[in-house]
Amino acid sequence: MPQVAARINSEQERWLKDYFRTKSAGAEFILPWAVDTFFRAINSIKQMFSAAELKTIVEAHKDMKLMPDHTRLSYLLLRISDACDVASVHLRHGASKSSLESKLKGLDDTRATALMVWASAFWVSRNRSPASLEEYIKTY
């Protein structure tokens, strides 16, 4: 199995040891579970939005560094509103700002975070190109 080096804080390390006896045993369970859970959630969340709305969400996350403290619905709403108001990103992709915001408001913080991570991931992908955005919103 491939190795992954993750960074965790001391509280997270203590939690893994308390629940799984060792940090390694916890990490071996949690990481694959988190990845699988993330992709299941993203596939479910993406079905709520049109292709134009998904493109708007992805473009709104261009040049954004995602910080754990800023992964909540309120930040997602602010990010999308700002991208629409300042750069008219929604118009570029043919999305309705009010419809998009209405759908986003139906998310909880966890689902909003998954959407933000997914949108931000496009911009750091090695396979990123304007043509690949269409494939990204269909596949991942």
Burial class from Cβ neighbours inside 10 Å (0-12, 13-18, 19+) for residue 11 reads exposed
In this prediction, residue 51 carries a pLDDT of: 96
**Residue 138's pLDDT is what?**
86
Q: 75 with 132, same domain?
A: yes
Residue 80 lies in a domain: yes
Pair (69, 116) in one structural domain:
yes
Q: Are residues 26 and 85 in the same domain?
A: no
Q: Does any domain span residue 2?
A: no
Tell me the C-alpha distance between 123 and 107, whole Å: 23
Average pLDDT of the segment spanning 102-119:
96
Q: Is 102 exposed, middle or buried, given 0-12, 13-18 or 19+ CB atoms closer than 10 A?
A: exposed
On whether residue 1 sits in a domain, the answer given is: no
Do 75 and 115 lie in a common domain? Answer: yes
For the chain, the residue count is 140
One domain, residues 71 and 115 = yes
Share of the chain above pLDDT 70, in %: 99
**Domain presence at residue 111:** yes
- Is the same domain home to 67 and 40? no
Per-residue pLDDT, 1: 67
Do 55 and 33 lie in one domain? The reply is no
Residues 24 and 73 in one domain: no
| Whether residue 54 sits in one domain with residue 40 | no
Distance, in Å, from the CA atom of 115 to the CA atom of 89, rounded to the nearest integer, reads 17
Residue 13 CB contacts under 8 Å (≥ 6 apart), including other chains: 23
Average pLDDT, integer, range 42-70: 93
Question: pLDDT, tens digit, for every residue of 2-41?
Answer: 777 778 889 999 999 999 989 889 988 999 999 999 999 9
What's the number of domains the chain is made of? 2
Q: Are residues 83 and 36 in the same domain?
A: no
- What sign does the CA torsion over 98, 99, 100, 102 have? positive
Do 70 and 135 fall within a single domain?
Answer: yes
Instruction: For residue 17, give every residue at least 6 positions away whose Cβ sits within 8 Å of its Cβ, in sequence order, or none.
Output: 23, 26
> Which residues constitute the domain of residue 21?
10-44
Geometric angle at alpha carbon 130, from 125 and 131, rounded to 5°: 100
22-51 burial, b at 16+ Cβ within 10 Å, e below that, comes to ebeebbeebeeeeeeeeeebbeebbeebbe
